């Protein structure tokens, strides 16, 4: 018995067990795909919280629909079809859960603009382990790291839902056009037209690339940013930015474009911090450097979450700072809920 044949045989046995109601067998079948399906849902929804919900709905729909799975497509393709349609339904739903705009603890300066994607959340790199090299198909046009960066995920949120789904299935995951048409219940001609419009909206793969994830230059730039930010050195922070840099703060809609606007926001934020100590702990999100903030509390001997920075690099500088005010997500990144203050 060859190993390959044995693997197929075991899958068929597990499939029959799952069809008969064996939940453990269903877990064996779907377990290898759960992480990549979570990433898929995150790309389409832009929110880790919503992606986790969509994944659970996908698995529930797959469990219920397993008796009707005829095997004409692979199990992976079938699961992607279910997950994609769950996400499309979620994006179209009028009742989609959108975050409330937070009340800032100080009066911020007038923003350059008010962002529309307030539901955007970071994605922990630990959830990418084991799928980054194996998930894309041979026709994928995006590298795995590019396809989860914040700028790309945000661009998907601005597209009509079917455009976003077509681009992800075709150019990120590498399914061929016929498979995508079957998944979306569309004609081949419609898929080709939708893909063309989505590609035009997204731009060319690699246009947003700076230092590659984990490079020494990237780590050094993040360290210099942390040093300047912790010491409230506005000039030091601004010196690391591109002239057209952006600062955004989901779920707050405020966005600041350019060094002058960012400088004014930093000044207001640092004044509000006052004499309290700020700590920045290295993290990884969206294959980009991240820094988890902790702010000291004068009344308690600990520092508590104060926003998770995700930095977008452009060569030797920072093109975008996204500060997520989502302290409840810290545990998803393996971050502590507080830091003890040094004695």
What local confidence, expressed as pLDDT, does residue 143 receive? 83
- Among 48, 69, 92, the domain-final residue is 92
Query: Per the domain annotation, does 129 fall within a domain?
Result: no
Query: Per the domain annotation, does 142 fall within a domain?
Result: no
Query: Per the domain annotation, does 143 fall within a domain?
Result: no
What local confidence, expressed as pLDDT, does residue 160 receive? 95
CATH code, 8: 1.10.1740.10
- Among 92, 121, 146, the domain-final residue is 92
Query: Per the domain annotation, does 119 fall within a domain?
Result: no
Query: Per the domain annotation, does 124 fall within a domain?
Result: no
Number of domains in the chain: 2
Q: Which domain, by its residues, includes 64?
A: 1-92
What is the four-CA torsion angle of 69, 72, 74, 76, rounded to 10 degrees?
-50
Q: What is the largest CA-CA distance in the chain?
A: 71
What local confidence, expressed as pLDDT, does residue 7 receive? 39
Query: Per the domain annotation, does 306 fall within a domain?
Result: yes
- Phi–psi pair at 118, nearest 5 degrees: -75, -15
DSSP 114-182: E-S-TT----BGGGGTTTTTTSS-TT--S-TTGGGSHHHHHHHHHS-HHHHHHHIIIIIS---HHHHHH
- Among 92, 123, 139, the domain-final residue is 92
Radius of gyration over alpha carbons of the chain, in Å? 22
Instruction: Indicate the pTM of the whole model.
Output: 0.91
Alpha helices in 231-335 (DSSP H): 234-239, 259-273
CATH code, 268: 3.10.450.50
Query: Per the domain annotation, does 59 fall within a domain?
Result: yes
* Tens digit of pLDDT at every position of the chain (343 positions): 333 333 344 478 888 898 889 899 999 999 999 999 999 999 999 999 999 999 999 999 999 999 889 888 899 999 999 999 999 999 988 666 778 888 888 999 999 999 889 999 999 999 998 775 555 667 788 887 789 999 999 999 999 999 999 999 999 999 999 999 999 999 999 999 999 999 999 987 765 544 455 688 899 999 999 999 999 999 999 999 999 999 999 999 999 999 999 999 999 999 999 999 999 999 999 999 999 999 998 888 899 999 999 999 998 999 999 999 999 999 999 999 999 977 5
Distance CA 128, CA 122 (A): 13
Query: Per the domain annotation, does 326 fall within a domain?
Result: yes
**Cα dist from 338 to 19, 293, 294, 324, whole Å:** 46, 10, 7, 17
What local confidence, expressed as pLDDT, does residue 209 receive? 47
Which run of H or E residues covers position 34? helix 34-45
Residues recorded for the chain: 343
List Cβ neighbours of 177 (8 Å cut-off, separation of 6 or more).
170, 188, 191, 192, 195
């Amino acid at each position: 018995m060859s190993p390959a044949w044995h693997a197929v045989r075991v899958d068929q046995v597990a499939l029959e067990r799952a069809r008969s109601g064996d939940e453990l067998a269903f877990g064996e079948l779907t377990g290898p795909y759960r992480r990549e399906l979570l990433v898929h849902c995150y790309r389409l929804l832009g929110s880790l919280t919503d992606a986790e919900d969509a994944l659970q709905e996908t698995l529930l729909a797959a469990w219920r629909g397993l008796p009707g799975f005829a095997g004409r497509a692979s199990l992976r393709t079938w699961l992607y079809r279910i997950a994609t349609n769950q996400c499309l339904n979620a994006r179209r739903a009028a009742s989609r859960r959108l975050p409330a705009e937070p009340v800032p603890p100080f009066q911020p300066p007038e923003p350059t603009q008010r962002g529309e994607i307030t539901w955007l959340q970071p994605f922990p790199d630990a959830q990418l382990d084991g799928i980054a090299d194996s998930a894309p198909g041979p026709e994928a046009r995006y590298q795995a790291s590019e396809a989860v960066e914040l700028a790309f995920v945000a661009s998907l949120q601005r597209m009509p839902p079917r455009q976003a789904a077509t681009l992800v299935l075709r150019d990120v995951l590498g399914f061929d056009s016929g498979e995508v048409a079957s998944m979306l219940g569309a004609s081949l001609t419609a898929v080709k037209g939708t893909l063309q419009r989505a590609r035009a909206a997204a731009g060319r793969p690699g246009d947003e690339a700076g230092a590659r994830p984990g490079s020494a230059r990237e780590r050094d730039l993040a360290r210099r940013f942390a040093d300047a930010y912790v010491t409230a050195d506005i000039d030091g922070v601004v010196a690391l930015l591109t002239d057209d840099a952006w600062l955004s703060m989901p779920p707050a809609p405020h966005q600041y474009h350019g060094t002058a606007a960012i400088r004014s926001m930093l000044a207001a934020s640092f004044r509000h911090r006052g004499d309290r100590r700020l700590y920045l702990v290295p993290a990884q999100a969206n294959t980009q450097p991240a820094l988890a903030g902790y702010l000291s509390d004068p009344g308690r001997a600990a520092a508590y979450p104060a926003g998770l920075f995700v930095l977008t690099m452009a060569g030797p500088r920072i093109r975008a700072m996204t500060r997520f005010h989502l302290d409840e997500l810290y545990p998803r990144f393996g971050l502590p809920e507080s830091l003890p203050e040094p004695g």
